Amino acid sequence: MPGFNDKVSGGDLRGWIDQVNRLGELVSIDGVDWNLEMGVLGEEFSLRSGGSKPTLLFDKIPGFPKGYRVNINQLNTVSRIALTLGLPVDLDERRFVQNWSDFFRNIRSVPVNEVENGPILENVYEGDQIDLLKFPAPHWHEHDGGRYIGTAGLTLMKDQNEGREWINCGVYRSMILSKDTLSLYVIPGKNASIIISKYLKAGKNVPVVMTFGQDPLLFLVSILDLPYGQPELEFAGGVRGTGIEVLKGKYTNLPIPSKAEIAIEGELILTEKAPEGPFGEWTGYYASGQRPEPIVKVKRLLHRNDPILCGSPTFRPPTGTNLMQGLTRSAVVWEGLEKAGVPGVASVRCHAMAGHRFLIILSITQLYPGHARQAALVASQVPGAGLMSKYIIVVDEDIDIYNTDEVLWALCTRSDPEVSIDILRRCWGSPMDPMSAAQSANFTSRAIIDACIPFERRDTFPKIVRTSSETYRSIVEKYERELGRSGIS
């Protein structure tokens, strides 16, 4: 399946913005201040019902040169997510997950394409010339601990201790501490934290590359929770159908996307820490508080002319990236179930209203005793679901898991709390969970809820009150005019 970026956008943010504009989902606003105003507008456009929930492009930002722009709310509609992945832009949520799941399981990684030059080299600074404050990094929420330049950026680091070298590319938040110093917060247990622990054990600092504006495909792929050891840039190349163009970093030897808007090379200094946070998170709370975290010392700053800073302000679900992460992660969980040998999976949904992590719903065609419980237990631990999942609900294939009313109906009529619920303890949690007992707590419990018709009662369970679809449709069609006149249809 051809990717969007290889034929239209040229693999950069500016081409993507042009296409989104043609789609009618771009709103440009001049004169918006970096202090709170960008965050408030981002939330307001996300919350309003109806409309396209556009991506926002801010220019003529007070105190900064014209052309120094900020692009936010990139991937909060199904159409823009599909556009970024090369899928049809007219899909609803259910059909998107089906299309993306089919595409996802057939993606084959493509190595990066190392080049000698690229737009990212239009402006290069080292030493005293480095100034991160030249960019309009927003103060997103009123009680944030500072200006976060990294909310939709990438952090790249190399793992050298697995018998082969591979590059992890993840999305980890970063706050500006000074002209040449950043914070970096990584959730315990994420790929980067495993890599960092190895450098710490060896007594070494971590070379890093960070980008703060880039092709949205790279951002999307980097938050998929791909298995440990899977290079995200190579996976993105597989989505696009051609290798991602990169430059080799002068100080780090790490790949730098050649068409990125803003990038730095630096060193994560593990022995030197500074306060990080608080930050209003995707859960809708300031749950992770403030704590000392390692700093990144910037050695080299690169940016394009008229750079565009990308931002992904987080708000109360289902706004922000919760829709995108829920839809794309559903395919990761689905593939995990299939790889584990669980048959009969009809659909998977990581619910955006639950912050895309806390609630996973799956429907199955029951094939044998214990099938429903097996599917739910496996779904609670596969890649994409291992972190912070709290509720796993499994229903029969006749339930539309994208209709929450139907899921609640199945939950209330096909389950018995005494026999249908199991509790798993000491699963992978995070301080971002507002229910954590303490900020250092990285465990959570997990409820497995079997809301399927009991396997042994499939033939004797009470019949559903439902007119056959053919008869129902014929009657509706007969009285279509009356229904339309009454405003019901």
Cβ atoms within 10 A of the Cβ of 77, count?
A: 21
Q: How far apart are CA 268 and CA 208, in angstroms?
A: 7
CA 329 distance to own-chain centroid = 8
Q: What is the per-residue pLDDT for 472? A: 87
Q: How far apart are CA 146 and CA 140, in angstroms?
A: 9
Q: What is the per-residue pLDDT for 437? A: 54
Q: How far apart are CA 372 and CA 342, in angstroms?
A: 10
Q: What is the per-residue pLDDT for 51? A: 59
Q: How far apart are CA 195 and CA 184, in angstroms?
A: 14
Choosing among 3.90.226.10, 3.40.50.620, 3.20.170.30, 2.30.110.10, the CATH entry for 4-311 is: 2.30.110.10
The whole-model pTM stands at 0.85
Domain coordinates in residue numbering, the chain: 4-311, 322-457
> For 78-121, how does the pLDDT look when each residue is reduced to its tens digit (9 = 90+)?
999 999 999 999 999 889 989 998 998 899 999 999 999 999 99
Q: What is the per-residue pLDDT for 281? A: 80
Segments in the chain below pLDDT 50: 1-8, 489
| Peptide bond before residue 188 is cis, with ω within 30 degrees of 0 | no
For residue 206, give the nearest of 188, 221, 186 by alpha carbon.
186
Q: What is the per-residue pLDDT for 163? A: 65
314: left (phi over 0), alpha (psi -120 to 50) or beta: beta
Dig out the tokens for 295 from the structure.
């700093």
DSSP-assigned letter for residue 119: G
Q: What is the per-residue pLDDT for 45? A: 85
Which pairs count as long-range contacts for 162-170, CB under 8 Å and 24+ apart, including other chains?
Answer: 162/229, 166/229, 166/230, 166/231, 167/231, 167/232, 167/233, 167/254, 167/255, 168/192, 168/195, 168/231, 168/232, 169/218, 169/221, 169/222, 169/231, 169/232, 169/233, 170/222, 170/223, 170/232
341: left (phi over 0), alpha (psi -120 to 50) or beta: left
Question: Class for domain 322-457, per CATH?
Answer: alpha beta
DSSP-assigned letter for residue 464: P
Q: What is the per-residue pLDDT for 356? A: 64
